Amino acid sequence: MNKSLAKIYKPGVVKFALNSWPPFWGAGIKILSISEDFRQVNMKLKLRWWNKNANRTQYGGSIFSLTDPTYSLMLMGILGERYYVWDKEASINFIKPGQSDLYAEFSVTDDQLQSILSQTAEGEKCFPEFIIYVKDKDGNVVSEVQRKLYVRKKPQFREEEQKQTA
């Protein structure tokens, strides 16, 4: 994230921007809430006629898209402009068909955040992993998505840290 974006990167702005973003809107994805500290996000995938598969259930690509940028965007909000944060890899396990609107809850715990901060303190790369359980309207798990991210301090902040410790 650059300095200009960091100034306006607030939960309400991010929620509005992503809910207006054509890939989310077209897929039926909606951010329901983002906590003020970016540590909690709740999302919904609406079942629409155009995102149903041949079996008339949620299209798997839409389920996968529901989880796509969320943890990266959360960590960008938490860590700010000093860090690079990217999605690195992901996998999905389809457990049962999604026959209704679907929901996903994302959270970054204190332990996860402290682990990321300690692993990246000296400029090292960190690859935190998160599991998301996508659920139907009755709370039944429809899919399990594993996301691995890449997190690292930007070079100028690595150098700054090295100067301070020297």
Quick check: 49 pLDDT over 80?
A: yes
Residues 6+ apart with CB under 8 A from 111: none
Quick check: 166 pLDDT over 60?
A: no
Quick check: 150 pLDDT over 90?
A: yes
pLDDT per position as a tens digit, 74-128: 999 999 999 999 999 999 999 999 999 999 999 999 999 999 999 999 999 999 9
Which among 66, 46, 74 has a CA at the least distance from the CA of 134?
Answer: 66
- What is the rounded distance in angstroms from the CA atom of residue 71 to the CA atom of residue 105? 11
The 8 Å CB, 24+ separation contacts for 22-25 are: 23/65, 24/65
In order of their start, the domains of the chain are 3-165 (3.10.129.10)
pTM: 0.90
Q: Residue 160: which pLDDT band, with cuts at 50, 70 and 90?
A: low
